[in-house]
Amino acid sequence: MFAGLKRFILWDYPRGVWQYDIMCAGILLFVFFTPKEWFRDQPRIQYASQITSLPSQGEAMFWIEPELVVPVPEAQRLDTLGKILSSRTGKTQVLTRIEPIYDSEKEIKGYMAYSRR
């Protein structure tokens, strides 16, 4: 009994025997029929490269690329970007303010978004 279990765990069976086929079938069943919720698998987010979480002491801070912010009307920015951040982080993000960051030529390089924790 224990010898068979040991051989199974250490994958000690040669190809072509029925034990090897059973192990391969078990692995395939596991791969194809395991619910994704078991691994808390998250879909890739389209905004991942446009939003960066920054370390902070008080409020949560995020760097947001301008191409994500500019198309959103100014009156709706806090709410819309808060929803995008919430979907990205998996936590509810309530933005308190968004500040544009300018370079030396006074062009917008990005935005700093601040959120309550």
Q: Are residues 55 and 106 in the same domain?
A: yes
Q: Are residues 32 and 63 in the same domain?
A: no
List CB contacts of 112: < 8 A, sequence separation 6 or more: 61, 62, 63, 64, 98, 99, 101
pLDDT at 29: 95
- Tell me the helices (H) and strands (E) count for the chain, helix number first: 4, 4
Q: Are residues 63 and 101 in the same domain?
A: yes
| Residue 111, strand partner residues | 64, 100
User: What mean pLDDT do residues 1-18 have?
Assistant: 85
Query: Are the C-beta atoms of 77 and 69 separated by less than 8 Å?
Result: yes
Provide the pLDDT confidence category of residue 17 given band limits of 50, 70 and 90: very high
pLDDT at 41: 62
Query: Are the C-beta atoms of 62 and 112 separated by less than 8 Å?
Result: yes
Which residue range forms the structural domain that includes residue 100?
A: 48-116
Q: Are residues 108 and 52 in the same domain?
A: yes
How does pLDDT run across 35-94, given as a tens digit for each residue?
A: 877 876 655 555 556 888 888 777 889 999 888 888 889 889 889 888 888 887 788 888
Residues in the chain: 117
